A and B are shown apart, each in its own frame.
Chain A
Amino acid sequence: MLDVLQYQFMQNALLAGLLAAIACGIVGVYVVVKKVVFISGGIAHASFGGIGLGYLVGINPVLGAMVFTVASSLGIGLVTRRTRLPEDTAIGILWAMGMALGIIFIGLAPGYAPDLFSYLFGNILTVPFFDLMLMLVLDVVIIMLVALLYKGFLYLSFDEEFSTVSGVPTERLYFILLCLIALTVVVLIRVVGIILVIALLTIPAALARQFTHSLKNMMLLAILAGVIFTFSGLWISYVLNLASGATIILVSGTVLFISFGINKLRHRTREHDRDASAA
């Protein structure tokens, strides 16, 4: 079984899984505690426009997605903060417009787009070397920004109003956070694809939240969970010959539900014990 680790494509896949777990572990915690899951979904889907743009102008679609995703995250931020359009309406519109642009761009691009499917649903086994390096650089940027602005993001997420009053530049921090989400989406595209990104942004963080009351520990636990999910999902998909991205998501979701179930049972037995000792 371990022979497979000798193959370059498998080593690359494991590295891609690790890099994806780091990005989604850190940024996913903010997505969950700041409750910006829907915005993140919008940013992820809008990035399809960038994939299409990449095909059209003949550059690496992931690079196209990076530019487009950062721009669309700032766009969503501006529309939701500066106009009177309700936030979820604005997100829904930009979500669909990004995807529509992607379809138009790909249609205009010469020839056929052979690996389009892998951008939509991910394929961890075929991540090119350049994309791996890009993921590595983005991970470093994400870690540095979060280390530098940890306090600011904590204040923003917990109590934006109080923070604004005490002078924290909350609006700027919010836009930086959206950019971080955009970069994380780019890191995750090759692994699980645009459509499944939202699961890796939320599941490891939601799982970690059950075990700790510290934001820092939550990030470390979420990274660990992400590594376990991507590695075990990759292994199962390889053994059973299934789509890797979808397998990773289903493994993650199943573990999360089991964990919720166990927690619920534990609470119930604790209450039961308390009732029994009280009686």
Chain B
Amino acid sequence: MKAEELVRLENIWVDYDSIPVLEAINLSVESNDFLGIIGPNGGGKTTLLKVILGLIKPNRGRVTVLGMPPERGRKHIGYISQFNLFDHDFPISVFEVVLMGRYKRSGLLPRYTEEDRKAATEALDTVEMLDYKDRQIGRLSGGEQQRVFIARALATDPKLLLLDEPTASIDTNMQAEFYELLDRLKENMAIVLVSHDVSAVSIYVSEIACLNHQLFYHGSKEVSAEELEKTYRCPVQLIAHGTVPHRVLREH
């Protein structure tokens, strides 16, 4: 299958109150990419995702999603926002949350079709959360909620999954499981995730980019210490354990 270009950013500049957040960003995401964007907090990671989604308009530059403006193309993106920003007491069940992902098909009509329910059920099955479908969303652990939000994104039948700091609210022992889930999903869709957690990301993703106002894109996982230092503006050390590369910050 030939790779298709899903997202294209050309010379993107964003500033808040004339303080630059993103500077001259160029990025292309193709349909078979599994890209990890790492960088320090405040480096513009969430802003970059919101630019792709058309939620933030860049001051300069051009964004296209599947060749369309982001407002039209973004319905093909499954977005998993930075976690824990929702109201945990909200009266909504897990199944209702996942059904939200069916909006593209079901529209605003009051009823869901059998097909909508089937798709939501399948999505919950994929993330192994089907047993919890009637649970109120706040009564799940952080890792379980994360899975439900991935199921909701999957129910949109996305070509690209965008994840903002996906491991922030997951216990360390759940993280491996989480990345294995992404590993299965990447067969069917492109995945872009942003994180400040350098070591965890680099084990699983296929390509790494570093973002600290500017984007340093490498096209592969082979990031040199100098490049990471440029991103973090502090010394960084690369350590390899056997075949699995780990990357650890030395002095901060």
Contacts and interface: CB of A to CB of B under 8 A. Distances in A.
Interface of A: 33, 35, 147-152, 154-155, 157-159, 161-168, 209, 212-215, 218
Interface stretch (B75-83, B176-184, B194-202, B234-242): B75-83
Interface of A is mostly: helix
Contact of B100 (A149, A163, A209): A163
Given A158-B86, A167-B75, A151 B108 contact: yes
B103 A215 contact: no
Contacts of B90: 33, 157-158
A213 B81 contact: no
B53 A158 contact: no
Nearest to B110: A150
B75 A213 contact: no
Interface string B72-114: 0011010101000011011111001100110110101110000
B156 interface: yes
17 contacts: A33-B87, A147-B110, A150-B110, A154-B92, A158-B100, A159-B100, A162-B79, A165-B74, A165-B79, A167-B104, A168-B103, A209-B91, A213-B91, A213-B92, A214-B91, A214-B93, A218-B91
Nearest to B134: A213
Nearest to A29: B91
Contacts of B79: 161-162, 165
Contacts of A163: 100, 103
Nearest to A159: B86
A227 to B, nearest CB: 21
B26 interface: no
Contacts of B136: 213
A135 to B, nearest CB: 25
Residue from B74, B91, B93 with most neighbouring chain A CB atoms (10 Å): B91
B53 A165 contact: yes
Contacts of B247: none
Interface string B205-246: 000000000000000000000000000000000000000000
Given A158-B97, A213-B92, 18 more contacts: A33-B90, A147-B110, A148-B108, A148-B110, A158-B86, A158-B90, A159-B86, A159-B100, A161-B79, A162-B81, A162-B152, A165-B55, A165-B77, A166-B156, A167-B74, A209-B91, A213-B91, A213-B136
With a 10 A CB-CB cut-off, give which of A148, A166, A209 has the most chain B CB atoms.
Answer: A166
Nearest to A157: B90
Nearest to B53: A165
Contacts of A167: 74-75, 103-104
B104 A166 contact: yes
Nearest to A146: B110
A233 B111 CA distance: 38
